[in-house]
Amino acid sequence: MQIVDLYSFKSIYRDDMQVKGYVFGSGEKSACIVGPSRGNEYQQLYICSQLVKKLTELEKLGVIANDKQIMVIPCINEYAFNLSKDFFGVKNLDINTSFPGNDYGEPITRLTGGLFEKIKEYTYEIQFTSFYERAQCVPHVRMTETGYQNVSLANLFGLPYVVVKKPLPTDTATLNYNMSTETSSAFTIYTKAKEQLDEKCTNSAISAVLRFLTRMGIIKYECHSGYISHVLKDEDLTDVYTEKAGIFKGKVECGEYVQYGQKMAEIINPFDGSVLEEIVASTDGIVFFAHNSALINQYETAFRMVHRLHD
């Protein structure tokens, strides 16, 4: 393993922010695995740390293919974790909506520009991130519809779902959108947890990455085949919104099958304990996304569901 300095951001009040890459193997720049850009993605940071540990072991065993190189960047926003903030700098900006960046603009675009020049050299880019909402979701691979997306490659991770999303204007400034070209493929992996550490979730994510690297001939590793992924478009998911704000008391979890009319959650009045609203399933299906914070706002997404397609 070789540790390389990818970008250094100077500060007059604290230590410089160092973005480091952990490089395994040598030769063709095959796969780059990128960790969190927001300071509350503790699970994603932990997954990347365990990937570094696992790849270190595998490199010693000689299972990384000749002339193949893998790089892991565990974190691209160290300051956010140190300050317990989601975003970057005094302007509180989102790093992952500032790509491809440049070398002459604001600090955040200089950071993303410097990183992008290093990351874009790799054939495959895998990013661990999460939803902005405080929620859990079924593990899946997400791809933005750029015209270059390759769903067949996304299936090789062996996760339950692959979701293809039409890009919003903000998506065009993300790392994965800019990495998806004729010569490279980009994948975003969403796991169930975000702010809590979940070993089962971690092991599943590591297995998915190792499975993909094995199937692409980058490493030689025996692994289970995983799932045959079900491909969804983002519009295939049904949003379930709240009508009231208050204390959120969920009754179902991600991955759980629910039937039409089944109670999924209650919104509780925080002052007198009365039930302000009962949220019920609008269709038969699987809970794909579930709010998991103690409080919820009015008209916020409480759940996203996958329609029941067949028996």
Annotated domain spans of the chain:
2-228, 237-307
Q: Give the pTM.
A: 0.93
Strand (E) or helix (H) holding 187: strand 185-190
Joined tokens for residue 147: 């015209």
Name the CATH code of domain 2-228 (choices 3.40.50.620, 3.40.630.10, 3.40.50.800, 3.40.50.300).
3.40.630.10
| Annotation: CATH topology of 237-307 | OB fold (Dihydrolipoamide Acetyltransferase, E2P) (2.40.50)
CA distances from 32 to 12, 72, 120, 220, 233 (A): 31, 6, 9, 17, 26
pLDDT along the chain (311 residues), means of 10: 91 80 97 95 97 97 96 92 76 89 90 95 96 92 94 96 94 95 94 91 96 97 90 92 97 94 97 98 93 96 83 45
* Strand-pair partners of 263: 280
Determine the 3-state secondary structure of 206 from DSSP: helix
> From CA 181, how far away is CA 123, in angstroms rounded?
10
Determine the 3-state secondary structure of 161 from DSSP: strand
